[in-house]
Structure 1
Amino acid sequence: MDLQLSGRVAVVTGASKGIGLAITRTLAEEGAHVVAVSRTRSDEWPDKVVHVAADLMDPEAPARVVARAVEEFGGVDILVNNAGGPPPGVTLPRMGFMTPDDDDWRAMFEFNLFSAVRMIRAAVPVMVERGGGSIVNVSSTLSKQPGATNVDYGAAKAALSHVGKAVSEEYGPQGVRVNTVTPGAVLTDWWTKEGGAAEVFAGLAGSDKESVISEVAPAMMKLATGRLIYPQEIADAVALLVSPRSGSTTGAEFVIDGGQLKEL
């Protein structure tokens, strides 16, 4: 299926690994001009990808990113706010409401909410000038399933989902679509890296890293598929959502969680 993305200009944040890497490669393979935003370059990007080194904890970074996209390609048609998760230097999961202090909450919201808000603020005027565009925000099932683990992260992602619906309502008449993709547990280095979530849960469960990834975590989250999600599965959904083939889809949320969430 032709997604009609050839020649369109896409900005992808958090583009160097995991979900962001899969999205960057997929959009580039579909013919889009991709501006990949990350603190470090990835050797796994297609050659034509333009890297903009940026730390999105810097409030000035989003405007510089959009300006670079305009300089390189004349505008922005697609924005994927994928950057998120643990702020630099932070390890999740973090257990208990009392564990994160004020600075932890500020950093979590800065990275998972405010960076996306600023990216949207920078990109929307450029999109409107070009006659429209598409934004996808990457959230988390923790935004919909509150609990004692990663409370600050879930709260930030819930706020991001709210922002997406609000912006879609305001700018839909001007041709800007905004949707949210809500992944469950995705098999990225958030889980697999040394000291990552799999090792943390292994310590709590008296298990080992490999067993957590293959058995313990899917069982704990009651995943109907019995496995964690592959990054490409998220990327495929994002590519369809930013495509003109999804031209009537806005203000929507797409949950890709392996059957984790059970509520109607």
Structure 2
Amino acid sequence: MDLGLKDRVAIVTGAGAGIGFETAKRFLAEGARVVGASRTTHDFRKLAGADRLLAVDIDMATPQAGEVVAQAALEAFGRIDILFNNAGQAHARESFLVTSDADWQATLELNLMGYVRMARAVLPTMLAQGKGVLIHCGSEAGRLPVSILPDYSVSKAGVLMLSKYLSREYTARGVRSNVVAPAHIRTPLWDAPGGFLDALAQKFACSREEAVTAFLRESKLPAGRLGRPDEVASMVAFLASDLAEFISGESVGVDGGVMPTI
């Protein structure tokens, strides 16, 4: 299906791996030009030539990051049509009581304030164009918190309200805002040392791969498997297209059917 994204300019934060990387690939496949912002963009840089791709190596938790990325996009391509706010972090915690102020600050600075600053940086351009799309990577943890992810769950709840607010203020001026809410997608956040798989392996007292099977059995995930980053990317691409131009202020789950079963 042609989504009509040819030559549109998309900013993807967290484009170096996982959902962000797959979304950048999908936008490029649809003919868009992509600005990828991430602390590491080595793999992203290989996706296309300089006429269709711009890599910005930056930590999206820094206060100036949004303005830096937006300005780079305008200098390279002259417009900004789509923002996929995606850069984030999730660290398993023993409990709420041992989650420190530093933990909370680091997570909220990236997962929420990074989104706020990036949206604030692109909105003037989108409003001047009379059209734009904001898509934010939330999580089903923002609606039903995960016991080992207190700060992450709260940050994703904040993303839901951020998008709802932006939708309320700017949809009438041509800028839509939506959330894509993945759950149980196997990204580097699962496989990284100290990530979800290590926490699950400890919980179930088994190997990492055995922990996936144990988790699926315990969670009763209707899909019967973990999701893939490219499956989230497909939803992001749809929400970015004109096929979704009557959708704003929504949160769309990509979760294998988990929410209705909990």
TM-score by length of structure 1 reads: 0.94
Cα deviation 1:161-191 (Å, max 9, x = unaligned): 1010110110001100000000001111111
Q: Is the 8 A contact 2:185 2:228 kept in 1?
A: yes
Task: Work out the CA distance in 2 between the residues paired with 1:79 and 1:165.
Answer: 16
**Residue 183 of structure 1 corresponds to which residue in structure 2?**
182
CA distance in 1, matches of 2:120, 2:89: 21
> How many positions carry a matched residue from both structures?
258
2:214 paired residue number: 216
Residue type at the aligned position of 2:54 = V
Looking at structure 2, the residues matched to 153 and 120 of structure 1 have their Cα atoms a distance apart, in angstroms, of 20
Aligned to 1:53: 57
How far is the alpha carbon of 1:50 from its aligned partner? 1.0
Q: Which residue of 2 aligns with 1:89?
A: none
Query: Contact 2:35–2:73 (CA<8 Å) still a contact in 1?
Result: yes
**Map of 2:251 onto structure 1:** 253
Secondary structure of the residue that 2:127 maps to in structure 1?
Answer: helix
Which residue number in structure 2 is paired with residue 39 of structure 1? 39
Q: Distance in 2 between matches of 1:208 and 1:111?
A: 31
- Verify: 1:158 aligned to 2:157, yes or no: yes
Question: What is the percentage of aligned positions where both structures have the same residue?
Answer: 37
CA distance in 2, matches of 1:186, 1:202: 17
Q: Which residue does 1:71 correspond to in 2?
A: 75
Residue number in structure 1 paired with 2:4: 4
Aligned residue in 1 for 2:230: 232
Matching residue of 2:107: 108
- Contact 1:41 1:51 (C-alpha < 8 Å) held by counterparts: yes
Given residue 117 of structure 2, which amino acid in structure 1 is its aligned partner?
Answer: R
Name the amino acid aligned to 1:129: A
Q: Which runs of 5+ in 1 are unaligned?
A: 87-91
Inter-partner Cα distance in structure 1 for 2:198 and 2:150: 20
Q: Residues 218 and 119 of structure 1: is their aligned pair in 2 closer, same or farther, counting only changes over 3 Å?
A: same
In the alignment, the residues of structure 2 paired with residue 98 and residue 235 of structure 1 have an alpha-carbon distance, to the nearest angstrom, of 35
Does the CA-based 8 Å contact 1:10-1:34 persist in structure 2?
yes
> C-alpha offsets along residues 189-227 of structure 1, whole Å, 9 cap, x if unaligned?
1112333221221122111111122x1222232210111
Matched with 1:15 is 15
Query: 4+ residue runs of structure 1 moved beyond 4 angstroms?
Result: none
Give, in whole Å, the separation in 2 of the partners of 1:219 and 1:263.
13
Letter in 1 for 2:67: A
Query: What is the rounded CA distance, in whole Å, between the counterparts of 1:134 and 1:155 in structure 2?
Result: 24
2:84 is matched with: 80
Q: 3-state DSSP class of the match of 1:262?
A: helix
Q: What's the CA shift string for 1:25-55, capped at 9, x where partnerless?
A: 0001100010000011232542232101111
Deviation at 1:114, TM superposition (A): 0.2
Conserved 8 A contact 1:136-1:241: yes
Partner SS state of residue 51, structure 1: strand
